[in-house]
A = this chain, B = another copy of it.
Amino acid sequence: MFESAELGHRIKKSVYEEEVPPLRAALLNAQLGLAKSASFPVIILIGGLDGAGRGATVNLLNAWMDPRHIQTHGMGEPSDEELDRPMMWRFWRALPPKGKIGVFLGSWYTWPILNRVSGITKAADLDQSLERARRLEKMLVDEGALLIKFWLHLSKDKQKKRLKTLEKDPLTRWRVTERDWQRLKDYDKFHEVHESVIRHTSTAEAPWLIVEGEDDNYRNLTVGKVILKAIEDRLSREQTSPAAILAPPLLPPIDNLHILKTMDMGQKLDKDEYRVRLEKYQGRLNALTRHPKFRYMSVITVFEGNDAAGKGSSIRRVTGALDARCYQVIPIAAPTEEERAQPYLWRFWRHLPRKGRVAIFDRSWYGRVLVERIEGYCGEADWMRAYGEINDFEAQMVRHSLLVVKFWLAITKDEQLRRFEDRQQTPFKSFKITEEDWRNREKWQLYEQAVCDMVDRTSTLLAPWTLVEANDKNFARIKVLKTLCGMIEAKLKDLEKQGVDYLDKPKKRN
């Protein structure tokens, strides 16, 4: 794997000095074209060995490129903010938007490698981390990102020579630490893990590019030329047609039966009983969020449902039970300009709560497989892959002790009509009903199909859907509260049984 990067590549100073000025001009030009078109982001990973010039490469890119359109992320020790969320959160928040370049020194590979070399994790754990990395990268590429992964390499001999040279010179001696010598001792261990990482994650869409790190001139020119060609190629590419659908069709509805039909929509709760239970479950919910273990978990609730199904009022019954400092309601509408410049899931990642908090999504990432599917805002290939991406997303939350509670609030078509008409006739409610609501109503059957597919494909043991019969608002609100309490209780019990520690969570170093 490292054969070509141990040959002693060199570029003479005279050649270098001749080639750099036109390269820099071309890079700036390409960067301008990228910023103008703003059609895709460029994500550059700088991985590899200590001393192979990772830092120098980042500095070089910052020196050569227009600083307005490039951003570098050191990704050293995670902050407390970051440790409180799934491992990938820190990368999501740092992703460059379309038209910009993001350079990552240290990436989603760093900690899995270190944990494996230090023996904290097993080979199978590393494989799981690499699988997650591959799925993340596939998603980024599917979302249009240009992903360039450089691996800077230095042979063991060269590594040793480098340390000795630095140490001999009183001016550079400070740069060699005890840790450097330790790393050299561990060279073979690292080598084996690196080889496995590169083999498993050099995919057709995002291969590792292994660059010999010894000679600055060679390294700089190579990195610069690859980036230039990659951006130019992509900019000159014709707008690609939507991806071909390779999958067989989902199940056709050949009888008239589906999960929504099997709900008992007549369920009701009278006012008195409702008041008693509301009191009971709100009290219980409040107590649960004050449980000493609650600060080791967090709760994500998702509210989806038919228009006028009562999402807002159910949410208010939940928030009514919570300390205002511990929750956040996130209403999801059309994405902002900033959000449109990012992969689809970005606008949800940004709202993931810290430990000990509750986030309540009023509509959610499921828009992709509901409204976007039906209105054609995204292609079939996009919403088809979204089921897997969403499951990955939620699995990451669950791995990090986030509890994911998902409600589908269902009303019948007749009940919806009644509520729509009521809204139109009640002055203080009429703002809630728009032309779009009536248009959506015409697509009732398409939505039903989409909801069934969504539940079938994303109701997992890790993050199940709860279908809520919402023709009667009292019944629906109590079912929501009761379900939420039950799931938090179960999660707290889990936390009491097992320690809270996760394999791919970065371990703090001393």
Contact = CB atoms under 8 A, between A and B. Distances in A.
Interface string A216-255: 0010011001110110010001001100111111111011
A259 B206 contact: no
Q: Which of A3, A237, A385 has the most CB of B within 10 A?
A: A3
A31 to B, nearest CB: 15
A154 to B, nearest CB: 16
A205 interface: yes
A226 B248 contact: yes
Contacts of A262: 7
Contacts of A258: 4, 7
Contacts of A210: 251, 456
Contact of A257 (B7, B124, B244, B384): B7
A196 B462 CA distance: 9
A3 B204 contact: no
Contacts of A195: 460-461
Given A4-B455, A127-B131, A226 B252 contact: yes
Contacts of A5: 456
Contact of A252 (B3, B127, B225): B225
A8 B240 CA distance: 44
A255 B385 contact: no
A126 to B, nearest CB: 10
A384 B207 contact: yes
Contact of A202 (B3, B127, B205, B457): B457
A456 B153 CA distance: 13
B237 A249 contact: no
A385 B257 CA distance: 43
Copies of this chain, how many? 2
A264 B461 CA distance: 60
A94 interface: no
A128 interface: yes
Given A11-B254, A195-B460, A205 B122 contact: no
Contacts of A388: 202-204
A387 interface: yes
A185 interface: no
A184 interface: no
Contacts of A141: 246
A247 B207 contact: yes
Given A207-B384, A221-B254, A388-B203, A1 B248 contact: no
Contacts of A272: none
A7 B467 CA distance: 14
A459 B7 CA distance: 15
Interface in A111-147: 122, 124-125, 127-128, 131, 141, 146-147
A10 B255 contact: yes
A328 interface: no
B457 A1 contact: yes
A210 B453 CA distance: 11
Contact of A218 (B146, B244, B246, B254): B254
Contacts of A381: 204
A9 B205 contact: no
A192 B461 CA distance: 8
Given A209-B250, A247-B204, A255 B218 contact: yes
B131 A456 contact: no
Contact of A259 (B7, B131, B241, B244): B7
A176 interface: no
A287 interface: no
A199 interface: yes
Nearest to A126: B124
Nearest to A229: B249
A207 B1 contact: no
Contacts of A125: 124
21 contacts: A1-B459, A2-B456, A3-B452, A4-B251, A4-B258, A4-B456, A10-B257, A124-B125, A124-B128, A141-B246, A147-B248, A192-B461, A195-B460, A199-B391, A204-B247, A204-B388, A222-B252, A226-B248, A226-B249, A233-B245, A241-B241
Given A3-B455, A4-B455, 15 more contacts: A1-B460, A3-B465, A4-B258, A7-B261, A122-B124, A127-B128, A146-B246, A195-B461, A196-B461, A202-B388, A204-B387, A205-B246, A221-B254, A226-B249, A227-B248
